Amino acid sequence: MSTVIEDLVARKVLNSRGEETIEVDVVTTSSFGRASAPSGASRGKAEVVPFPQGGVDQAVRKVDEVIAPEIVGLNADFQEEIDRTLHELDGSKNFRIIGGNTAFAISLANAEAAANSYGLLLFQYLGGYVTHELPYPLGNVISGGRHTSGKTPDIQEFLVIPYGAESVLDAVIANAKVHKRIGEILRKKDKLFGGGRSDEGAWIANIGNIEALDVLAEACEEVGNEVGFECGLGLDLAASTFWNAKQKMYVYSREEKKRDKGEQLDYVLQLIKNYHLVYVEDPFHEEDFKGFAEITRKVKNCLICGDDLFVTNVERLNRGIKIHAANSLIIKVNQIGTLTDAWETVETAKRAGYIPVMSHRSGDTCDWHIAHLAVAFGCPIIKTGVVEGARIAKLNELIRIEEFLGERAKMASLPIS
């Protein structure tokens, strides 16, 4: 089967926020692959540059005029060669010339084209025939921080993970039930609650951090009793977004409180203890490796996850591994640019005992590929929302993968309880 690339086609499309982004088709002699790039609201400073100067229009021109002439004629089977070529064409360390989103869309579309040429699903092609473990869905059900505006919690995301579920389908349904139950609770608590939702489909409400946690805990307990398995609580503090470097304080606007590093540590530890949190993402700002290491030492049965801290970058991850900063990390392929780069980071994480969490971005598309990447890369968790079209696309694809695997399908193991 010939998988020589015959054409690269780039176009401008919209993401779930109505923002412009890039989509790429990779056409081979026997197949076709397509991928579009998402966008985050709160980006880590060490992420690759999403688009070149000139934005999406310039990215599309780069594909047509610079990238396509070099990629056409290569073999889609050789993913590392494709990704290396993208790095060479860019020439910078952070994809500022062609754009990280451009590299991401080409890299992913290429992998799909190669998979299609062999009649394989993407997760099979990338992970092999023996791949059969499925991730638990981690989803945002109450939004705050930069995902909202107005009077909302300072903490960016209040999350649910049904880690007791025995199937993806059961887990996805449980998360949806928690989301629905939270909406019902909020309506009872606040007669003015309008049912607003964030980009990711999570509820937006005029409540504080502790109120939001109380609502989440109530909903998780009720749904857990209904479905017969544990629905765990999690947080994404996105602490870089309220870190004031000049004051060296975490500024909680709604609470009207400022916390130094020690107070921030005590605050998060207390939340973990009081609410039996099983997942905490970015509890400190993106350069505080020592803070991540300290909190990791002091908790058990809770994943301390680095997103802005690591930005899917193997060099930053190795820096964290040396001092045991965090025990988990977010994997967003477009933070680093290519599948090969992300794969290297995942494998490095696994060797060090870190849990990789495949993740969407807040401004996403209905592209479903990360469902396959989570399975292929062996990520025990996929962070991809609960409701909203771009999130449902990925969750439904996980359900299809589970159905395809049949009796071989098995939920991944997690070090939380």
How far is it between the farthest Cα atoms of the chain? Answer: 63
Per the model's pLDDT, the better-predicted residue between 403 and 189 turns out to be 403
| 166 flagged as catalytic | no
User: Does the pLDDT of residue 194 top 90, yes or no?
Assistant: no
Region 125-144 average pLDDT: 96
Catalytically annotated residue among 112, 133, 200, 286: 200
- Ordered by where they begin, the domains of the chain are 5-119 (3.30.390.10), 133-411 (3.20.20.120)
**Residue 41, pLDDT score:** 67
Of the candidates 62, 177, 332, 383, the residue annotated as catalytic is 332
What mean pLDDT comes out for the span 116-122? 96
Q: In this structure, are residues 138 and 156 in contact, taking their beta carbons and an 8 Å threshold?
A: no
252/155 Cα distance (integer angstroms): 9
Q: Is a pLDDT exceeding 80 seen at residue 131?
A: yes
What is the average pLDDT value for the chain, to the nearest integer?
95
Is 332 tagged catalytic?
yes
